[in-house]
Amino acid sequence: MSENKQTVQKYMDGFVAGDHEMILSCLTDDVVWDMPGNFHLTGKQAFDKEVGNENFVGTPSIQTIRMIEESNIVIAEGTVQSKMKTGGMLDAVFCDVFHMENGKIKQLTSYVMTK
């Protein structure tokens, strides 16, 4: 597995473990995270705040279906389930586009659709 794919896998593992430090170690300091229609974040501090989103309880279950890499872009497709504070459940599919720089995530665009 390439260095870039290993970083993306570590990032995903950090979410499942609820390990903010693991997640943040995968990012550049000036990381940008876009979720079209939901948010645009810049920097590790803003990223970390969203990772700790208070609308969810516990840690998510993430299944990566595939990862594809070309140049400095890694695309990960999969599913995510997470308990919501309101008592419901997030059950969604995702396609994340990671722009990598020196083995770290510089920019992430997350396309998420609930099932």
pLDDT in tens, 3-31: 999 999 999 999 999 899 999 999 999 99
Digit-coded pLDDT (tens) for 51-62: 877 778 888 999
Alpha helices, DSSP H, located in 18-113: 20-24, 44-51
Residues 6 or more apart whose Cβ sits within 8 Å of residue 6: none
pLDDT on residue 98: 98
pTM of the model: 0.93
Over the stretch 29-80, which tens digit does the pLDDT of each residue have? 999 999 999 999 999 999 888 887 777 888 899 999 999 999 999 999 999 9
Average pLDDT estimate for 73-98: 94
Query: Which run of H or of E encompasses 111?
Result: strand 104-114
- Contact (Cβ atoms closer than 8 angstroms) between residue 57 and residue 83: yes
Pick the CATH number of 3-114 from 3.10.450.50, 3.40.91.10, 3.40.640.10, 3.40.50.150: 3.10.450.50
Q: Write down how long the chain is.
A: 115
Where exactly are the structural domains of the chain? 3-114
Q: What pLDDT, on the 0 to 100 scale, is given for residue 55? A: 79
pLDDT at residue 53 in the model: 73
